[in-house]
Homo-oligomer: A and B are copies of this chain.
């Protein structure tokens, strides 16, 4: 029995998938008892298909794949939520299993996709949608199932982690770090999805849905990016024993799921603080297993293709054994999302203020008025004449109170010289 694959998308990940099958088809037969063959390839780009040696399998119309009765598994690698959604839903409707690397699709239409798969008794693999080659969805759906997962924290965007690493290690500015990431091909010409945190938000939505058995969608995730991180914040964090990372966080709380993406100060000794460059890591805490971390390359043709083909092989293994899907949608609960205002955590807040007497006292008064207790405050001069930087670290405080502090200090007459920088602190 040879499992027939239809590949939609012939970019770098698609190319990586073709390479894996070319290199290891005989190994898969011997080790797994699974034989597989790509029988059709769809792309908008025949030159790309030719370069990958699959022009003879080429079509420009994905319906040729969906409607091909011979095809068992459709691999969707075109990204986005329009054509990709048609491909995935169309393939399922036509009775084909699906493997996708599409985080945006799964974080937005994951319920629709998984419901249809269940109805059709088909499988949908999406390991590659989070963390590149790092096994994390499989471990959450299998190895860790004896746990109640209490939190998931991830460095899941390689572009921003590369930029932050360059900023902290080599003193680059945000702009220079971004330009370098773009030059190296780690960041897109329009870097919004990465630097504003939306890519990470889609990934934590997927992880939280599985970890907490309750659907979390992209729109549920409070999201802040790294555009406002300055070298001064980096230095202050360093002095205080922290590093700044763009973290995707999801916590199970008595009130529901707290899920967010934002720059976060992590103690240098934390295992995640040492995840640098384009590497990703996902830190999972369970009630029995305690703390675990999954680390690896978060992007690139090889890692993403390894995850895609791992899913394809798993589905093919089930088909070869003649068994139904083992695990489908795991969202059996319906937990509320905790609104961001209800968050309680520690905060780093840097104000750039007028350098004159009375300002520090006025600000201290505002913190006290709203019940935000200050752990430390550091004053530093600024390059701007008559401006100083005041960096506060609070004890645990509510987001709502901190917002009131920010609002009221913003309203103090002739005090603020720039937008305050707010970074949450994870201890």
Contact = CB atoms under 8 A, between A and B. Distances in A.
Interface of A: 16, 19-20, 23-24, 27-28, 30-32, 127, 133-135, 138-139, 142-148, 213, 271, 274-275, 286-297, 300, 302-303, 305-310, 312-314, 317-318, 321, 323-324, 326-327, 330, 332-333
Contacts of A295: 271, 292-295
A278 to B, nearest CB: 10
A324 B326 contact: no
Given A24-B146, A139-B135, A148-B27, A288 B309 contact: yes
A296 B289 CA distance: 8
Contact of A303 (B32, B288, B302, B306): B288
Given A271-B274, A310-B143, A24 B293 contact: no
Given A143-B307, A295-B271, A133 B30 contact: no
A291 B294 CA distance: 11
A272 to B, nearest CB: 10
Contact of A290 (B300, B323, B330): B300
Contacts of A23: 148, 287
A28 B308 CA distance: 28
A254 to B, nearest CB: 16
Nearest to A303: B289
B145 A16 contact: no
A30 B288 CA distance: 19
A147 B290 contact: no
A166 to B, nearest CB: 16
A306 B289 contact: yes
A292 B290 CA distance: 20
A290 B30 contact: no
B289 A297 contact: yes
5 contacts: A286-B306, A288-B306, A290-B302, A292-B297, A318-B326
Contact of A139 (B138, B309, B327): B138
Contacts of A327: 317
Contacts of A291: 296-297
A309 B146 CA distance: 6
Contacts of A293: 293-296
Contacts of A271: 274-275, 295
A24 B288 CA distance: 11
Contact of A30 (B28, B139, B289, B333): B333
Contacts of A323: 321, 323-324, 326
Nearest to A301: B288
Contacts of A313: 145-146
A329 to B, nearest CB: 11
Contacts of A139: 135, 138-139, 143
A19 B19 CA distance: 47
A178 to B, nearest CB: 24
B324 A134 contact: no
A16 B309 CA distance: 36
Contact of A31 (B289, B309, B318, B332): B332
Nearest to A285: B296
Contacts of A330: 31
A286 B27 CA distance: 14
A270 to B, nearest CB: 10
A138 B148 contact: no
A31 B142 CA distance: 12
Contacts of A20: 146, 288
B297 A290 contact: yes
Contacts of A289: 133, 296-297, 302-303, 306-307
A31 B140 CA distance: 12
Contacts of A147: 306, 310
Contacts of A292: 133-135, 294-297
A287 B271 CA distance: 25
